[in-house]
Structure 1
């Protein structure tokens, strides 16, 4: 008989944590999932979850097979000069998804989100908390002006919608004009529009 109790460390333990996290995220969404609950579902000590994954966002990245950790990408955006936020955001987005593997994962992620509400909720909550909120904080810290009657959160979300729409046309629908364009061409076209959303011109 195999011994009962918590699993020791090892590759099997890591796989068990990922499987448990997939179940927890699907049932409770990103916001409702805790690392302690994942550890309980996997039958491991909570310290082992922290040993393998640096926080909930990194665990979610593993579960969803994202090509990169969004927290790292936001750091790259935050390091850009305020005058180049739009172009930097576009280039970082395309750098993540433009590889053959990234294109496949982008298409798979949005196909799953369209077919399953629990999947869509996970992505929605994760993008809202770990990406959009961080970008909003970055824009505010850059000293970008906020005009009365305008919501920075809405502006950032509209910029994200433009990027996601570009991704859908490039990687899923594969509209030739967008799918065949070079990254530099897309950055040149998207950058000014995203810049207007993130850092609107002062009167």
Structure 2
């Protein structure tokens, strides 16, 4: 006679690899969670000290899931700075129109981004990584050229538009660094409208060739 054997409870199913507690893998929520963690990690630790594993740990997922969504470390950094520089990417659409006054519009829009701490600090973090690591610099350089500089240059009817746009960008970055990073006086505490008024004619000359 076959003995009566009552089966025990079935073992609990293992949680899928890379599936954080409380967040379903494969959802937009999971991707955004990882992207937010990547942005914070790169900002706080810099490019060199950030790893896919540290991003995964901060997001509460398996490193394989970070690779699944974003690929390599360089690609993950690119996705993170896309988020950081989103306000600046709107610049070309925001400032173009009649050539008259474009220098002031560009100065006011781009320098205005630096005036706000929530947008300034993440940008500074990206620049620190780009200044100290060539891989990060290449990702940032490619994105800056493609998303901002090339778009602006394509709208200009001037000789050597790429060079002129880069000169304008260098002027803006120099002002931003002196004002917000090095905090050199008197530019650090100068009135924003005064700074815009002083730099606008130079940008106008770069972008219109004749300073129209």
State the TM-score, normalized to the length of structure 2. Answer: 0.66
In 1: Cα distance, 2:82 partner to 2:31 partner: 18
Paired residues, what number? Answer: 168
Write the distance in 2 (CA, Å) between the matches of 1:127 and 1:81: 24
* 2:173 pairs with 1:152: no
Q: What RMSD in Å do the two structures reach over aligned CA positions?
A: 3.4
Shift of residue 81, structure 1, vs aligned partner: 2.1
Residue 194 (structure 2) pairs with residue 185 (structure 1): yes
Q: Deviations over 1:24-60 (max 9, x none)?
A: xx7xxxxxxxxxxxx985435xxxxxxxxxxxx8764
Deviations 1:75-121 (A, max 9, x none): 1012x321111111100011111112333234323222222222222
Structure 1 CA distance, aligned partners of 2:110 and 2:67?
33
Shift of 1:164: 0.7
Are 1:8 and 2:21 an aligned pair?
no
For structure 2, list consecutive stretches of 5 or more residues without a partner in the other structure. Answer: 1-13, 20-24, 48-63, 70-77
Question: 2: CA distance between counterparts of 1:5 and 1:58?
Answer: 20
> Which has the larger displacement, 101-110 or 153-162?
101-110
Higher relative contact order (CA 8 A, sep 6+): 1
Structure 1 gap ranges (5+) = 27-38, 45-56
Query: How does the TM-score come out when normalised to structure 1?
Result: 0.68
C-alpha separation in 1, matches of 2:186 and 2:38: 42
Aligned partners of 1:5 and 1:102: how far apart in 2? 31
8 Å Cα contact 1:70/1:130 also seen in 2: no
* Higher Cα Rg, which structure: 2
